[in-house]
Amino acid sequence: MNNTLNLFRIDAENHELMGAQLAAFSRQVPLLYFILSVNSIALASTHLGIAPTILTVVFPGVLVGACAIRCLIWLQRRNRVVEPKAAARTLRATVVLGGALGFAFLAWALSLFPYGDTSRHGHILFFVGITVVSCIFCLMHVRPAALILTGTVIAPFVVFLLASGDVVHIAIGLNLFLVTVAMIYILIICSGQFAAMVNGQMETRRLSNENFRLANVDSLTDLPNRRQFFHRLSILAEQARTANHRFVVGVLDLDGFKAVNDLYGHGVGDRVLKETGQRLLKVSDDTQFIARLGGDEFGIIVDAGLGSEAVLAVGARICSVFDAPFSVAGIVAKIGGSVGFALAPDAGTTAELLYERADYALYHAKARYRGQPVIFSREHEVEIRKLSTIEHTLRRIDLDAELSLHFQPIVNVGTSRLVGFEALARWHNPELGNVAPGVFISVAERTELIGTITQVLLRKALSAVSSWPDGLFLSFNLSMRDLISQGTILQIVAIIESSGIDPRRIIIEVTETALMQDYERVQESLRILRSMGLKVALDDFGSGQSSLSYVHQLSLDKIKIDRGFVRNIAMQENARNIVKTVIDLCRNLKFDCVVEGVETAEQVEIISRLGCSTMQGYFFARPMPQGEVEAFIADFGLSGDRRLVAAAG
């Protein structure tokens, strides 16, 4: 019963189907009313002068006029967007009106029956039959209307023919009934197929929209993803090139996120990233486009011609979202954010160049103004060119010929003994002169050159160690790129094994920054080196973030306290307290402790009093070339130095 009733209902819940039904019906309405009007005029004309004027002129004129009005109404609606509720009302009205008009045409046709002869009776029968068939086809996509019209016309007409007592009329009635049943069957099948087609198109559209969303939206944060960011950036960059359109590109990177991710797991890290996206949206306006580019990096496009001060204000607002700590699953995590901006078209007119320069401004911010916005400037462009020149030169020179090492002594003031040297890279180029280690090492770390440079310097360092007394160790730095490259680590192992130097005399120094890049791979690399007998020191302790988490998780042998804490140790109690805390931590964890950057006898005395005796700095000696190391060792003497005794005394 419900299935039967559903055949006569408009599916008001299926908005797409109703829209398709209205669109199809609006195209067929003119044809429907044309057929009704032509058939009515033809039938009325064959009864002129035979039937009363009201039946041959007035009544058909009213019906044809009603058809014309309805046709005009539908033509006006043809291109309008109809809301679902209005569509449902229109379709229901069509069902009711279709039945009413059908019954009106039938009543008029039957009212002509008493006035005609056999041929005119045949015309009436033809009129009713062809009109119903035509209406069924025209109303096929609005099944309830077609069924109601068929029922209000065919049922009474068949009854009329069967009751006439005329054998021919009875045969025609039965014939018409059977044909109508077949037509209804076809109608139900076709309307069902139409609904299925519309639903299939809906599903196809839904899947297409979902695919578009997946291709352009970051699944974690629901922000636009890298693809959509660069698509929009490319469009704006083209406008900047052709029409001098001004806009701003920004790249945001989280400070300290890697430590949170490693310490608390990816689940907590993901929730921090998701909340970061929500915070960024809250401080953005209609001119700002926020996207997640990957990892803990976000992209910002400000489609407005802002000056430098306004851009810095936007950047300050973005960085302020990190003022409040992140509370996730009972864990409170404090992270920051640095952002670099490039202003188009001044900084470039291609998407790639604008992004690179915003990314360089971000690099500059993280290196010198962590937690603040930085705008790419002409000074940065000069610096980029300089670094590009350095990179190009590094690629073409004989590294073994131009790279060298200086060695800075590490002493134990408690025993007045020289215990080892730290190897420090140096580069002199005939064209560039002396290039600062922090500059060329940084350039090499951003390329694949660092692995080759590390191997060249390690060979030189081990060659120098071979001439030292057996009691002295070598402290050698490995970069982040070295530690995450399995190939470089295997080369380092091979170099050490072929050198003949006891691995126990080698200390590998790593920084917190290196550890934060890929903790698991770094840990595996250190495990390989420690298995050979090498020791591991955490360099520049306290200059990074979340140091204690790495101290807790890594098997370290030594911690080197950053020189930043030593600089003011004679004047600031806080500095002394921090150094004392780290020294006590090392003692409790059974780590060796080295204090870097010692420059005065007063600092030596304070550090000794705090409990650390192993130190390094200008007070003892500046870094020296290998040719001066042997003389320094001989002059220092393994038995002690009176100056150290006096300083510690």
Catalytic residues: 296
Beta bridge partners of 435: 427
DSSP type of residue 597: -
| Alpha carbons 107 and 102: distance in angstroms, whole number | 9
Question: In three state form, how does the secondary structure of 14-29 look?
Answer: CHHHHHHHHHHHHHHH
Q: Which of 343, 337, 325 lies closest to 369 in space, CA to CA?
A: 337
Angle at CA of residue 68, ends 65 and 71, nearest 5°: 150
Residue 311 dihedral angles phi and psi, to the nearest 5°: -65, -45
What are 327's two structure tokens? 């509370």
Q: What Rg value do the Cα atoms of the chain yield, rounded?
A: 44
| Alpha carbons 305 and 283: distance in angstroms, whole number | 19
Hey, how many other C-beta atoms are within 10 angstroms of the C-beta on 309?
9
Interacting residues of 83 by C-beta distance below 8 A, sequence separation 6+: none
* SS3 call for 113: helix
What are 84's two structure tokens? 């679902």
| Alpha carbons 529 and 305: distance in angstroms, whole number | 54
Residue type, 224: P
Q: Do residues 219 and 203 lie in contact, with contact meaning Cβ atoms separated by under 8 Å?
A: no
Q: Do residues 587 and 387 lie in contact, with contact meaning Cβ atoms separated by under 8 Å?
A: no
Q: Which of 517, 544, 528, 530 lies closest to 262 in space, CA to CA?
A: 517
